[in-house]
Structure 1
Amino acid sequence: MTLNPLANPKGVKLLCELCQKPAFVQCTKCRVTYYCGVEHQQADWVGIHEKICQLLIPLRTPHLSFLSSEEQRKKREQDLVHRQRNMIDLTRTTGQKLLFEGKHEQAVPAAMQSLRFSIDIHGLDSIELVPSYLILAEASIGLHKLSQGEEYLAQAQWTVLKTPDCSSAIKSKLARNLGLLYAAQGNYEESLRHLADDIFHASEEFGTDDIRTSGGYFHMANVFFRQNHMDVADSLYTRVTAIWHSHLLRIVTARTRKNDTQSGMSSAVVELEERVVESLDEAQEAEAKQVLHSIHDIREQVTNQDAAAMATVGHALAMLYYLLDDIHKATELGQKAQTSSDSREHKDDELAACIIEFNSALYQLPNKMNLMPAEYS
């Protein structure tokens, strides 16, 4: 809906959600979001607004009702902060997911929203703003706007430096983004130095074999790959594959065990089991796809393929698609992984048995498990 700024109440300036310039267009669904034009409205809708349109209404609509007690006022304030925190989590996860999917331009509105809500809760100088700056920096690097990326990273770096109790997790993410920036600039030596810092801080926070640490190994492998140091790159890709394979196998095993046993459990026990079973959020799903497909494609192009490596990455992808309820894709990749496993001269019996058991379970899905997509119903 088009707006006439002259018709605004006195002292009210409606600003564009993306660029903060005077707004002339209003979202007709939520009526609390404004844009300088249709182009920015469409960009915001694709990036994040479609997900949060209705969620913005209670956050941006003034409460005019009178609250009789201090307790009621505190409860309303707590509810507002809770909603804002949920919005930060949602917008950051969405922004990170879009980055892993290579949709850098679409990630910007999500990151801007997460930054805005973080400022509302924590203020301008808080370390809590850094994750949003890093998403904006990575989006800028992906769009080849390196100067803009440097500005966001400088802001993040300054905030980290003046926060003595900054977590290793945030230091890891900052180092990774600096590594990506230097890699984009062709400064591979500096890039590797920062990626080594990333791995150090992530290992300190999560351990050396956690999927949150594996991203540092993966980007370091990419730098060595660009420099044609294939032996080093290959060993790092193998490490990344092993970490994701282990993580996905743990989730699949827990989930299938739950489905095999829950029929005899009470509802309370089933609910408890469901909370214990690990899962992937949207960003982790997108990261797993990006990382494992990249490694799979690189290995497929090698003349003398390592059958064990192909079997492992193929099985990891098959498990990922099983968790995403794409049974057809999971079956296809599982069969390829088994073919690679069968072609080896010296088989890893544990891996081979794991792949065979997984494929067997997939074939029995319609009859045995309660994980069927609609096409099997």
Structure 2
Amino acid sequence: MRVERLVPLALPRGQKLQCELCRGPAGLRCGACCVTYYCEVEHQKADWDSIHEKICQLLIPLRTPLPFYNSDKERNHGLEQQLSREKHLVELTHRVAQKFLFEGKHKEAIPAALHSLRFSIHIYGLNSVELVPPYLILAEASIGLGHLTQAEEYLSQAQWTVLKTSHCSDAIQSKLHRNLGLLYAAKGNFEESLYHLANDIYFASCAFGTNNISSSGGYYHMANVFFRQNKMDIADSLYSEATDIWHSYFSGLIDVQLQTIMSPSEIDILCLPALRFHSMELNTIFIPSADESQQAEASQILNAILDIREHASRQQPMKTGKVVHALAMLHYLILDIPKAHELAMKALLIISYLQKQDSAEAIQQLINLIKSKPFYAK
């Protein structure tokens, strides 16, 4: 990345340059794309670390004049291509911002979310429901940074947009209520927080079905509220619900993989030579790369629950083992094989003391799959 100072005399008369982040007067330019401007090096670095590195070259065709077209057909085709590029950037910036949120990197999420919001405004207009997702990310990032007033402003914008939309999807309603729940929890208004988080779970269930992974966050955040109120039995039950959702989801992916690679004569999962014979068929990521934010959410929720389980005054080995097993499956599915093996062995050790045959067999199947990987390190 190179930073170049602008030469004011070289600018067209009356042209004003705005900082990509704060929209204040800009005096620096990205030397890589030459179409993005900043007020100071700190803002450029923040934007680069968040999203600009990924979209730097993608911005050039959007921020340079359209070429001369010989016909209306060519012009319309050019405009369609530009719109397609902008929509791609909306999705990309939103996905990156969401991933940062789940990783707890609230500051890094903001520049990416601002890009998503601005591209959405340009495509859909100021009153479109498509603006709600970036508003919600900006609100959640602001909550994470302790900027509650700013978060309220973003949520007010999102709420107003939803109220004006006659057919707002259940998925959007779910995300809105989750952020309202997080805001009220941060303000210490637990009753209002639980109301909104319950609505989050309801709308997520309507949109995606009961016990879908989209509702796991609602259960997890509700558990955190009860945990803060020292209502441990309720919190424990909700943490278990969130764990069960992810455990069931990952188990389904593992089962699909086992059915795909095993022939009827190879049903015995303990037959490692057969698994190694099919090992090249295992080198795929079963959580699509487009869902990196989903991976980050699962990791955030399960690791937090594991930490709570391991530090609880009353140990519950079965529940702890289930969290560890879910994390082992997650790391296997994203091909983090050494970590997957470490967690799977830990889960097997916990479960073996409880003499739970079904759970132990499922973990052993996972361990055998891990060992079948060509790059498995013994």
Provide TM-score, normalisation by structure 1: 0.90
Deviations 1:26-57 (A, max 9, x none): 00111110000101000100111111111111
Shift of 1:361: 1.9
2:333 is aligned with 1:330: no
Written as runs of structure 1 = structure 2, the 5 A alignment for 1:271-290 is 279=288, 281-290=291-300
Shift of 1:172: 0.5
Shift of 1:356: 1.0
Which position in structure 1 is the counterpart of 2:331? 321
2:78 to 76, 79, 103: 76
Contact 1:254 1:277 in 2 (8 A): no
Which position in structure 2 is the counterpart of 1:271? none
2:110 is aligned with 1:108: yes
- Equivalent-residue separation in structure 2 for 1:86 and 1:260 (angstroms): 38
SS of match in other structure, 1:365:
coil
1:361 to 366, 369, 372: 369
- Equivalent-residue separation in structure 2 for 1:171 and 1:332 (angstroms): 39
For 2:324, give the aligned amino acid. Answer: G
SS of match in other structure, 1:45:
helix
Shift of 1:259: 5.0
Written as runs of structure 1 = structure 2, the 5 A alignment for 1:83-162 is 83-162=85-164
Contact 1:14 1:22 in 2 (8 A): yes
2:314 is aligned with 1:304: yes
- Equivalent-residue separation in structure 1 for 2:9 and 2:359 (angstroms): 69
- Equivalent-residue separation in structure 2 for 1:233 and 1:279 (angstroms): 31
Deviations 1:281-315 (A, max 9, x none): 11111111100000111000123321221121111
2:52 to 42, 49, 60: 49
**Unpaired segments of 5 or more residues in structure 1?**
262-273, 367-371
Shift of 1:18: 0.3
- Equivalent-residue separation in structure 2 for 1:107 and 1:277 (angstroms): 25
- Equivalent-residue separation in structure 1 for 2:72 and 2:240 (angstroms): 59
For 2:37, give the aligned amino acid. Answer: Y
- Equivalent-residue separation in structure 1 for 2:292 and 2:49 (angstroms): 16
Contact 1:251 1:279 in 2 (8 A): no
Higher mean displacement: 13-22 or 251-260:
251-260
SS of match in other structure, 1:102:
coil
Shift of 1:279: 3.3
Contact 1:206 1:212 in 2 (8 A): yes
**Unpaired segments of 5 or more residues in structure 2?**
264-282
Change (3 A) 1:308 1:275: closer
Equivalent residue pairs, number: 356
Shift of 1:19: 0.6
Contact 2:285 2:335 in 1 (8 A): no
Change (3 A) 1:256 1:22: farther
2:42 to 36, 39, 62: 39
Written as runs of structure 1 = structure 2, the 5 A alignment for 1:127-276 is 127-258=129-260
Deviations 1:2-25 (A, max 9, x none): 013343112321110001111110
Shift of 1:251: 2.2
Contact 1:5 1:23 in 2 (8 A): no
Higher mean displacement: 217-226 or 7-16:
7-16
CA RMSD across the alignment: 2.0
Contact 2:287 2:295 in 1 (8 A): no
- Equivalent-residue separation in structure 1 for 2:217 and 2:8 (angstroms): 47
Deviations 1:138-186 (A, max 9, x none): 0111110100000000000000001010001001100000000000001
- Equivalent-residue separation in structure 2 for 1:361 and 1:111 (angstroms): 38
Change (3 A) 1:303 1:115: same
